[in-house]
Amino acid sequence: MKEKSQTSLIKAVEKAKKLKLLILDVDGVLTDGKLFFDNQGNEYKSFHARDGHGIKLLRQTGVEVAVISGRKSNSVALRMKNLGVEHVYQGHENKQAAFNEIIEKMGIMPEQAAHVGDDLLDLPIMTRVGFAIAVSDANFAVKQRADWCTTLSGGHGAVREVCDFIMQAQGRFDEVLNAYLK
């Protein structure tokens, strides 16, 4: 069993080395999946600060970040704007169309993209990208089809874990770390 997990990790690292794009789902990945509404119907979401910092650091190393969500939320638009994420697709239950548009705009192949998901709506993209990632609390069918699973759950630092993993695989984590140690 240990050999199989070691082989899976080596394959995950090899896939992560090729990435130019990280695509994130929102509910259940960037958030813990809970939906909060006030009496006027305003929606509130909670984002983890380390996930946001990880996104900024990953973008600094040259890996672009995109968001594709089935739901539409002003708080997501605001958070992504604050993080400098330009590719934000909300209200896309058919996530494949948004995926196709992003890779065409960026001029990359699907194998150069990763997707982090947690539920069945994410599978159409996860089965097309070069590196499919599931958060630890994802639906079992999503986890079965993922190349790698985080140890942290959605909304609790899983995205930062993914960003750090990609930077380490691409040999860029030490330069990011050293900027803080000067």
What the chain holds in terms of domains, given with CATH numbers, is 16-174 (3.40.50.1000)
State percent of the chain over pLDDT 90: 88
- Mean confidence (pLDDT) of the chain: 94
The model's pLDDT over 105-144, given as tens digits with 9 standing for 90+, comes to 999 999 999 999 999 999 999 999 999 999 999 999 999 9
Higher-confidence residue of 40 and 6: namely 40
- The whole model's pTM is what? 0.94
| DSSP notation for 103-155 | HHHHT--GGGEEEEE-SGGGHHHHTTSSEEEE-TTS-HHHHHT-SEE-SSPTT
What stretches of the chain adopt beta strand conformation (E)?
Answer: 21-24, 36-37, 43-44, 64-68, 87-89, 113-117, 131-134, 148-149
